[in-house]
Chains A and B, each alone.
Chain A
Amino acid sequence: MTHLKLLGTTALVVGLAAPAMAQEIRFMCYSDGNECEVYDDVLTRFEADNPGVDVVVDVVPYQAILENLPVQLAAGTGPDLAKVTDLGGLNEYYLDLAPYVDAGYWEDSFGGTLDWYRGGPDRQGIYGMHSQLTITGAFVNATLFEQAGVEIPGSDATWEDWAAASRAVAEATGTPFPMAIDRSGHRVAGPAISYGAALFDADGEAILVDDGFTAFVQQFVDWHNDGTIARDVWAGQGGATYQDAAQEFINGELVFYYSGSWQVGRMDEQVGDFFDWQVVGSPCGPSGACSGMPGGAGLVGFEQTEHPELVAAVIDFLAQEDIYAEVTARTRNLPGHLGVAAAGVEFEGASPAAAAALAAFASDLPDVAPAAFAYQGYAGNRAMFGITVERISQAIVGELTVAEAMERASSDLAAAMAEQ
């Protein structure tokens, strides 16, 4: 009887306590460097301030964010919050944070990046916190330029100037590749805009292909054919698979590497004192623009969560200026928080080269063309990135002419938009 009583009391206590204890939310996170590790650490403070709350950080590969997360969300089995890069594309699943946070603070702190998560003008809520702002730009091997006796082109240099200089350096130093651009539709968007690509028509509808875009693709294919650009990156893969050329740059096999600010940490760690490198931003194009592509990642909550208030509280905690500044400094990313950016960030453990590189990328932000901002926030941009990679690759390897590739890209886009 005593045992029965004890069992009954325990069950009652556990039953009463359970609702207060069962506040577990799952955060699906991927890292470019150490982001998830830092979030996990910072969130222990949130957990300490909110007893009974457990924020589980599930670290996954980036591919899982791209491929598995959308399927999980569609099936209603997604996490409570996640770090995503398809900012507008997953908008239909986002939790609107506006009812739970100080909307004024958010508008003042995150400004235009809030639009990237809205997926279109019809939705005006607050859907995501831009946790790391990125911008595309070029890294150059300064040591090779010095060895070749070639002057590094200035800030107003064009793509043609850089191609000529890189070829001269590669030839003089016996470097295998003058230039490389990551195999990504996002990466070539900035150069294409600098060549005059509008990407959208006057009504704001996506068009992708126009004279400016075609002019860039023709130049890009020509540079592959004459050996200016490393074929390994774009011709060494199929489909729309991402491929970077960071390892070639780190190995000293590449003069000019067009990638983005997220590579700074890797360059800093892996190049070391092997050679001097620097960031030169985005070259200019015939249209006069010298635009990179903004981008990055952000934290979003999902509507299907059972704890919307808690999810909003976690994201709001990470959005507070002091916490955001700490995370930015520890992860060595460009801040998307206007207050943090204005105050400046002392990047933790960054070498002088890395700090200079991050400053160079930050100084390139004002040059970003409006079309680039619009493209980053466009809900269908992933489809456009994929089409760009597949069709340009076919033109590079000779399966299609540039004209055929552009025709296919236009019809692919029309088909994709019809299905979305």
Chain B
Amino acid sequence: MLSVITPLMRIVEIPMLALQRLLGINRLAWVFLFPNLVLFGLFAFLPVILNMVYATTGGDNVLLADRPYVGARNFGFLTDCANFLDPNSCREDKFWRAVWNTTWFVTLQVGIMVGFSLLTAIILNRDIRARGFFRSVFFFPVLLSPVVVALIWKWILQREGVLNAFLDWAGIGGYNWLVDAQWAFAWSVFLSVWAHMGFYTLILLAGLQAIPRDVYEAATMDRASPWRVFRRITLPLLMPTMLVVLVLALIKGVQTFDEVYAFTGGGPGTATTFIIQYIYEEGFAGAPRLFGLAAAASLLVALVLVVLTLVQLWVNRKNVDG
């Protein structure tokens, strides 16, 4: 076997040695990195650069050559507000409605989801009957396509849906949930929590199982109450995992689009229009197609996501460093 491999290795070795002599050992690393850099450049860096270029152009043409340079005009349009808290005072009121909807959505969704995920993880970490079954049940929605999730809940919540049929049967009377702005928003939060909770439950469950058993045994011997055990042992030792979950959920929350778009279409009015839907509609669904404005808005979102990612990296590093 070796007699076959050795000559083959020599075939590779000869040009490599030549390259090493030509470039030097330090520069040779670039040769190995080159294929990866090309792919990464094409599919990651180039789109980012194109996005930046589009953000500084106007018109409704797709081809960059046909688009006039407008500098920071699109950013100016997006940030032209008398009062950032009142979308009606902004030139791009739909953008600011989407920003505030996203902020409220992320705050509620992440808070509720992390809370419920923690509760579920703690329950599933106990020695209960059919534990494996329940773990699967909570994780199952994560496997569903966002559109499927949206359609399931739409069928349940629409005027002639399952929930209203049940309420009618119970004599309570149905309600047009998805036509009411507050209810549509609340159900969007619920749907999102339902769809993603299983993923975060799984991470927290792994975090819980990593806590050494002997710490709990010592607390039991000291007759610590369950609440004290949770507050003084479980929560502090789970905090690094919790922080990772929190940052991941925040990033995912800001990116929310597909499931809510399929669920409510962003309505009623703009009640459930989030920032990614705003970008999609300005750039691709509306007329004229405002690629420049959409690109500028997506860069602002990217900026928020970069900050959140840096927070995650900082948290991770802090955990590793102890």
Contact = CB atoms under 8 A, between A and B. Distances in A.
A and B are partners in one complex rather than unrelated chains:
yes
Interface of A: 67, 70-71, 74-75, 86, 89, 231-232, 235-241, 380, 382-383, 385-386, 390, 393-394, 396-400, 404, 408, 416, 419-420
Contact of B62 (A75, A240, A241, A400): A75
A400 to B, nearest CB: 7
B58 A419 contact: yes
B290 A419 contact: yes
A231 B290 contact: no
Contacts of A396: 268-269
Contacts of A237: 264-268
Contact of A239 (B178, B285, B289): B285
Interface in B26-73: 58-63
Given A75-B63, A404-B88, A416 B267 contact: no
Nearest to B273: A238
20 contacts: A71-B62, A75-B62, A232-B176, A236-B267, A236-B268, A237-B267, A238-B271, A238-B277, A241-B265, A393-B267, A393-B268, A396-B268, A396-B269, A397-B267, A400-B88, A408-B93, A416-B288, A419-B58, A419-B60, A420-B59
B189 to A, nearest CB: 16
A74 B93 contact: no
A129 to B, nearest CB: 23
A52 B159 CA distance: 55
Nearest to B97: A399
B281 interface: yes
Nearest to B260: A238
Given A235-B179, A383-B287, A393-B269, 6 more contacts: A232-B159, A238-B265, A238-B271, A238-B273, A240-B286, A420-B60
**Quick one: which of A86, A236, A396 has the most chain B CB within 10 A?**
A236
Interface of B: 58-63, 88, 93-94, 97, 159, 176, 178-179, 181, 264-273, 277, 281, 284-290
Nearest to A392: B269
Contacts of A393: 267-269
Contacts of A89: 287
B60 A238 contact: no
A166 B197 CA distance: 47
Given A419-B60, A420-B60, A67 B284 contact: yes
Contacts of B266: 237-239, 241
B21 to A, nearest CB: 46
B179 A239 contact: no
B265 A239 contact: yes
Nearest to A400: B88
A412 to B, nearest CB: 9
Given A238-B269, A394-B269, A396-B269, A416 B287 contact: yes
Nearest to B284: A67
Given A235-B269, A238-B273, A419-B290, A74 B63 contact: yes
Contact of A419 (B59, B271, B281): B59
Interface centre among B60, B159, B268, by most chain A C-beta atoms within 10 angstroms, is: B268
Contacts of B94: 390
B62 A74 contact: yes
Given A74-B63, A239-B277, A397-B181, A386 B286 contact: yes
A380 B60 CA distance: 12
Contacts of B60: 419-420
A399 B176 contact: no
B295 to A, nearest CB: 13
A238 B271 CA distance: 8
Nearest to B289: A70
A231 B281 contact: no
A240 B286 CA distance: 8
Nearest to A394: B269
B70 to A, nearest CB: 10
Given A386-B287, A404-B88, A419-B290, A239 B267 contact: yes
Contacts of A232: 159, 176, 179
Contacts of B269: 235, 238, 393-394, 396-399
Given A75-B62, A75-B63, A420-B60, A235 B287 contact: no
A393 B159 CA distance: 19
Interface centre among B60, B269, B288, B290 (most CB of A within 10 A): B269
Contacts of A397: 181, 267-269, 271
Contacts of B285: 67, 239-240
A400 B268 CA distance: 12
A62 B97 CA distance: 29
The winner among B176, B179, B277 for most chain A CB atoms within 10 A is B179
A416 B60 CA distance: 9
A387 to B, nearest CB: 9
A400 B289 CA distance: 24
A241 B264 CA distance: 11
A70 B179 CA distance: 32
A238 B270 contact: yes
Contacts of B97: 399
B203 to A, nearest CB: 32
A408 to B, nearest CB: 7
Contacts of A416: 287-288
The 8 closest A-B pairs by CB, nearest first: A238-B266, A238-B267, A74-B62, A397-B269, A382-B287, A235-B268, A237-B265, A238-B265
